[in-house]
């Protein structure tokens, strides 16, 4: 961060100016109370057993010990990992392909831009219900078109083998817009001279993509991957609407399990402990990403 | 930065025709679920599951929409509007002030405060949802507008976008007023804020969409049917959540979600340029 406005201070004298605090106070107050404090309170809560009624009971690390031994926690973390493994590549590959297409500025590219982005602005309830209908085993559009190819009806949301994939398809449709726009903005910033020089040297479209465009996009790709991994680790709403974690928890994500223990079983201390574990997982992914990036930049 | 993805159309050469065709078909396919949603919502109950796929309804009926309104949709809509308008308004105003101060006013602890904002921006809000819920229940504020609105005001995204804007805002515009003896607040409200049209629109539409679509928190904190927001209320049309679809069928569910997505899609189409610009700048969703 550059020290913008340091020249200003001179105009007002060398005294310390607290006006800035007055400006930030309006935002900082609700931020501290409702965004930062709950994070800290959650860590305390994780060491207690606290229901909706009654007082907290300090239980030490019992919640964490139980969570680490809980097969449903393991299941939810594994599923969340699988969600990331399907959604992240889907969003990155399709998002990049669509951005490259729209970037050509061929006729109708503005319409294509709108269509690729629109699912991103609607609520999870819309995404979920539209895809529950599209993926209906008997009458869903997807299975009926697959039948044209001779594929038997797939129980997308009702079988343990498919439910996670069904939810992932809807999630890719929903999440793609953000990656698409970030790639599009990065493509636009690409220096044209390099492209033209490569074209004059006789490099074909694919070689220009690999040697000019891809290196330019590298920071954007790693940013999109990081954002999308974190987005996939917090997956909840579409799971809730489409399968509610069923069948037998085969599509249950970590946040869905937290929701279930907190709201259905009213075990708020335990749910907080699982939240802390998820936070640590997200932190680990973020740190790992940073280290990998630094290594690559250094080497 | 020029507008993202909109520039004068380029001529389409013959060798590019197959790729253009493939891309355009994919784009139409990407929008097709919305078409199918609207199409289903306009069909009479007995024409929803037909042996042949019918993209265009044989006959158009609005009975599915009428059935949706048997549920307290208007109450949910009112709650959604109040919640999204108030939370967005306060967040944009306070966020603009904070972003301005962080970019322009040297004050002790400025760097530390911004670092704190950025750190919390990296942590998904879902992590803190359980302690937040307990706090609101213990304070007797569950199922109130305060519960729906208060946690949405401190969204760092607003601060981030406005700070970026004011870092490059020409100082000369303010200096004249400063020499005339105008106070900081007067300068902010009469010069800096009115001239921040682009970030104002971008932040407002993005935050409004986020608040309108917000799901997990309203689901947790609203116990009464009469305090639910639209996305949470209408989730009961999902077969696994409520019983509405078993009772009414997919056509009514599609009518419900059509009503639900109209405001966000309309807002997006009207402000597309600013919306996409803001997303590209903020790089943050939900």
Q: Residue B244: give the domain boundaries.
A: 67-282
- Which residues have C-beta within 8 Å of that of residue B268, sequence separation ≥ 6? A117, A118, A121, B205, B209, B275
Please check whether residue B7 lies inside any domain of the structure. Answer: no
Query: Do B131 and B30 share a domain, yes or no?
Result: no
| Gap from A62 CA to chain B (nearest CA, Å) | 18
**Residue B203 has what pLDDT?**
93
Task: Write down which residue in B39, B61, B83 finishes a domain.
Answer: B61
Three-state SS sequence of B177-235: HHHCCCCHHHHHHHHHCCCCHHHHHHHHHHHHHHHHHCCHHHHHHCCCHHHCCHHHHHH
Quick check: A11 pLDDT over 80? no
> Cα–Cα distance between A72 and B133 in angstroms, integer?
23
> Cα–Cα distance between A189 and A9 in angstroms, integer?
35
Quick check: B286 pLDDT over 90? no
**Residue B257 has what pLDDT?**
95
Q: Which of B270, B224, B154, B206 is nearest to A29 (CA)?
A: B154
Query: Do B206 and B94 share a domain, yes or no?
Result: yes
Query: Do B181 and B92 share a domain, yes or no?
Result: yes
> Cα–Cα distance between B223 and A189 in angstroms, integer?
48
Q: Which of A26, A144, A188 is facing B4, going by the closest CB pair?
A: A188
Cβ <8 Å between B116 and A185: no
Q: Which of B223, B134, B222, B128 is nearest to A51 (CA)?
A: B134
Query: Do B27 and B89 share a domain, yes or no?
Result: no
> What residues of A are in contact with residue B153 (Cβ under 8 Å)?
27, 30-31, 34
Please check whether residue B215 lies inside any domain of the structure. Answer: yes
Please check whether residue B240 lies inside any domain of the structure. Answer: yes
Query: Do B84 and B105 share a domain, yes or no?
Result: yes
In a mutational test of the B interface, the residue from A111, A114, A123, A232 whose CB has the highest number of chain B CBs within 10 Å is A123
> What residues of B are in contact with residue A225 (Cβ under 8 Å)?
none
Query: Do B193 and B140 share a domain, yes or no?
Result: yes
Please check whether residue B9 lies inside any domain of the structure. Answer: no
- Residues A242-276 pLDDT 10s: 999 889 899 999 999 999 999 888 899 999 999 99
Quick check: A15 pLDDT over 60? no
Q: Token pair of B251, please?
A: 């056509």
Dihedral sign from CA coordinates of A172, A177, A183, A187: positive
Contact A282, A84 (CB under 8 A): no
A265: number of CA atoms within 13 Å, CB side? 13
Residue B51 CA: distances (Å) to CA of A121, A137, B47, B185: 33, 14, 9, 67
**Residue A4 has what pLDDT?**
43
**Residue B245 has what pLDDT?**
65
Name the one residue in this structure whose structure tokens are 């946690």. B151
Please check whether residue B2 lies inside any domain of the structure. Answer: no
| Gap from B96 CA to chain A (nearest CA, Å) | 9
| Gap from B1 CA to chain A (nearest CA, Å) | 8
Number of domains present in the structure of chain B? 2
- Residues A273-290 pLDDT 10s: 999 999 999 999 988 888
DSSP per-residue letters across chain A: ---TTHHHHHHT-SS---HHHHHHHHHHHHHIIIIIHHHHHHHHHTTEE--SSS--EE-TTHHHHHHHH-HHHHHHHHHHHHHHHHHHHHHHHHHHHHHHHHHT--TTHHHHHHHHHGGGGS-HHHHHHHHHHHT-TTT-HHHHHHHHTTPPPP-TTTSTTTHHHHHHHHHHHHHHHHHHHHHHHHHHTS-HHHHHHHHHTT--HHHHIIIIIHHHHHHHHHHHHHHHHHHHHT--HHHHHHTTT-STTTT--HHHHHHIIIIIS--HHHHHHHHHHHHHHHHHHHHHHHHHHHHHHH-
Query: Do B149 and B203 share a domain, yes or no?
Result: yes
In a mutational test of the B interface, the residue from A22, A32, A38, A90 whose CB has the highest number of chain B CBs within 10 Å is A38
Cβ <8 Å between A38 and B220: no
Residue B224 belongs to domain with CATH number = 1.10.3720.10
> What residues of B are in contact with residue A104 (Cβ under 8 Å)?
10, 16, 20
Cβ neighbour number for residue A101 with a 10 Å cutoff: 21
Distance between alpha carbon A208 and the CA centroid of its chain, in Å?
A: 31
Name the one residue in this structure whose structure tokens are 């995204």. B157
List b or e across A210-227, with b for residues whose CB sees 16 or more CB atoms inside 10 angstroms. Answer: eebbeeebeebbebbbbb
In a mutational test of the A interface, the residue from B86, B106, B214, B222 whose CB has the highest number of chain A CBs within 10 Å is B106
Cβ <8 Å between B5 and A8: no
- Quickly state the pLDDT bin for A19 (edges 50, 70, 90): confident
Cβ <8 Å between B133 and A262: yes
Please check whether residue B270 lies inside any domain of the structure. Answer: yes
Cβ <8 Å between B130 and A275: yes
- Which residues have C-beta within 8 Å of that of residue B275, sequence separation ≥ 6? A121, B202, B205, B206, B209, B268
Put simply, whether B219 touches A (Cβ < 8 Å) is: yes
Average pLDDT for A40-51: 91
Cβ <8 Å between A27 and B209: no
| Gap from B279 CA to chain A (nearest CA, Å) | 7
Please check whether residue B5 lies inside any domain of the structure. Answer: no
**Residue B171 has what pLDDT?**
84
Query: Do B57 and B71 share a domain, yes or no?
Result: no
Quick check: A38 pLDDT over 60? yes
Query: Do B236 and B96 share a domain, yes or no?
Result: yes
- Which residues have C-beta within 8 Å of that of residue A181, sequence separation ≥ 6? A99, A117, B4, B5, B276, B279, B280
Q: Which of A16, A101, A145 is facing B23, going by the closest CB pair?
A: A101
Q: Which of A30, A42, A40 is nearest to B131 (CA)?
A: A42
**Residue B247 has what pLDDT?**
65
Q: Which of residues 159-218 of B touch A (CB under 8 A)?
A: 159, 167, 171, 178, 184, 188, 209, 212-213, 215-216
- Residues B220-255 pLDDT 10s: 999 889 999 999 999 998 888 876 666 678 999 999
Phi, psi of A58 (to 5 degrees): -70, 125
Put simply, whether B238 touches A (Cβ < 8 Å) is: yes
In a mutational test of the A interface, the residue from B18, B36, B105, B141 whose CB has the highest number of chain A CBs within 10 Å is B105
Query: Do B92 and B125 share a domain, yes or no?
Result: yes
Query: Do B56 and B192 share a domain, yes or no?
Result: no
| Gap from B252 CA to chain A (nearest CA, Å) | 11
> What residues of B are in contact with residue A242 (Cβ under 8 Å)?
238, 240
> What residues of B are in contact with residue A277 (Cβ under 8 Å)?
none
Task: Please give the radius of gyration of chain A, using alpha carbons only, rounded to the nearest integer.
Answer: 24
Q: A52 versus B44: which is more confidently predicted?
A: B44
Query: Do B50 and B140 share a domain, yes or no?
Result: no
Put simply, whether A45 touches B (Cβ < 8 Å) is: yes
Write down all domains in chain A, each with its CATH number in brackets: 64-298 (1.10.3720.10)
Q: Which of residues 110-169 of B touch A (CB under 8 A)?
A: 110-111, 113-114, 116-117, 120, 122-135, 137, 150-151, 153-154, 156, 158-159, 167
Q: Which of B31, B95, B127 is facing A118, going by the closest CB pair?
A: B31
- Quickly state the pLDDT bin for B6 (edges 50, 70, 90): low
- Residues B216-229 pLDDT 10s: 999 999 988 999 99
Cβ <8 Å between A136 and B250: yes
Task: Please give the radius of gyration of chain B, using alpha carbons only, rounded to the nearest integer.
Answer: 23
Please check whether residue B38 lies inside any domain of the structure. Answer: yes
């Amino acid at each position: 961060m550059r020290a913008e406005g340091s020249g200003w201070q001179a105009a007002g004298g060398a005294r310390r100016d607290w006006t800035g605090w007055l400006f930030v106070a309006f935002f900082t107050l609700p931020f501290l109370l409702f965004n930062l404090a709950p994070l800290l309170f959650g860590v305390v809560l994780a060491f207690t057993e606290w229901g909706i009624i009654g007082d907290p009971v300090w239980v030490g690390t019992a919640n964490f010990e139980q969570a680490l031994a809980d097969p449903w926690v393991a299941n939810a973390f594994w599923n969340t990992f699988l969600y990331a493994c399907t959604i992240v590549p889907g969003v990155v590959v399709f998002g990049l392909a669509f951005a490259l297409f729209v970037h050509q500025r061929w006729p109708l590219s503005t319409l294509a831009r709108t269509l690729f982005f629109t699912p991103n602005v609607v609520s999870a309830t819309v995404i979920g219900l539209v895809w529950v209908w599209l993926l209906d085993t008997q009458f869903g559009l997807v299975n009926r078109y697959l039948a044209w190819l001779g594929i038997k009806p797939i129980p997308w949301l009702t079988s343990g083998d498919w439910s996670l994939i069904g939810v992932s398809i809807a999630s890719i449709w929903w999440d793609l817009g953000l990656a698409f726009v970030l790639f599009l903005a990065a493509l636009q910033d690409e220096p044209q001279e390099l492209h033209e020089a490569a074209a004059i040297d006789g490099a074909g479209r694919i070689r220009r993509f690999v040697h000019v465009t891809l290196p330019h996009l590298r920071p954007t790709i790693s940013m999109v991957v990081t954002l999308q991994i974190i987005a996939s680790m917090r997956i909840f709403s579409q799971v809730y609407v489409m399968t509610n974690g069923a069948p037998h928890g085969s599509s249950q994500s970590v946040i869905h399990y937290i929701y279930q223990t907190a709201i259905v079983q009213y075990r708020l201390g335990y749910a907080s402990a699982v939240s802390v574990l998820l936070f640590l997982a997200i932190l680990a992914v973020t740190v790992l990403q940073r280290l990998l990036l630094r290594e690559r930049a250094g080497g | 930065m020029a507008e993202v993805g909109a520039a004068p159309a380029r001529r389409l050469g013959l060798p590019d025709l197959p790729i253009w065709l493939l891309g355009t078909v994919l784009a139409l396919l990407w929008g097709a679920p919305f078409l199918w949603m609207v199409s289903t919502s306009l069909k009479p109950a007995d024409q929803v599951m037909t042996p042949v796929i019918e993209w265009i309804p044989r006959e158009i009926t609005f009975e599915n929409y009428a059935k949706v309104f048997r549920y307290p949709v208007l109450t949910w809509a009112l709650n959604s509007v109040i919640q999204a308008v108030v939370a967005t308004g306060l967040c944009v105003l306070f966020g603009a002030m904070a972003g301005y101060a962080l970019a322009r006013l040297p004050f002790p602890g400025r760097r530390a405060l911004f670092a704190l904002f950025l750190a919390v921006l990296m942590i998904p809000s879902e992590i803190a949802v359980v302690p937040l819920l307990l706090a609101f229940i213990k304070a007797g504020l569950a199922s109130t507008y305060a519960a729906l609105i208060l946690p949405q005001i401190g969204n760092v995204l607003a601060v981030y976008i406005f700070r970026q804007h004011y870092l490059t805002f020409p100082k000369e515009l303010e200096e004249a007023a400063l020499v005339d003896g105008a106070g900081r607040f007067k300068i902010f409200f009469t010069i800096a804020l009115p001239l921040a049209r682009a970030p104002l629109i971008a932040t407002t539409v993005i935050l409004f969409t986020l608040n309108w679509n917000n799901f997990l928190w309203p689901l947790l904190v609203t116990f009464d049917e009469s305090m639910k927001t639209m996305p949470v209320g209408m989730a009961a049309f999902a077969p696994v959540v409520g019983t509405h679809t078993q009772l009414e069928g997919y056509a009514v569910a599609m009518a419900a979600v059509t009503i639900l997505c109209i405001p966000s899609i309309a807002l997006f189409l009207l402000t597309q340029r600013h919306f996409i610009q803001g997303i590209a700048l903020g790089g943050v969703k939900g």
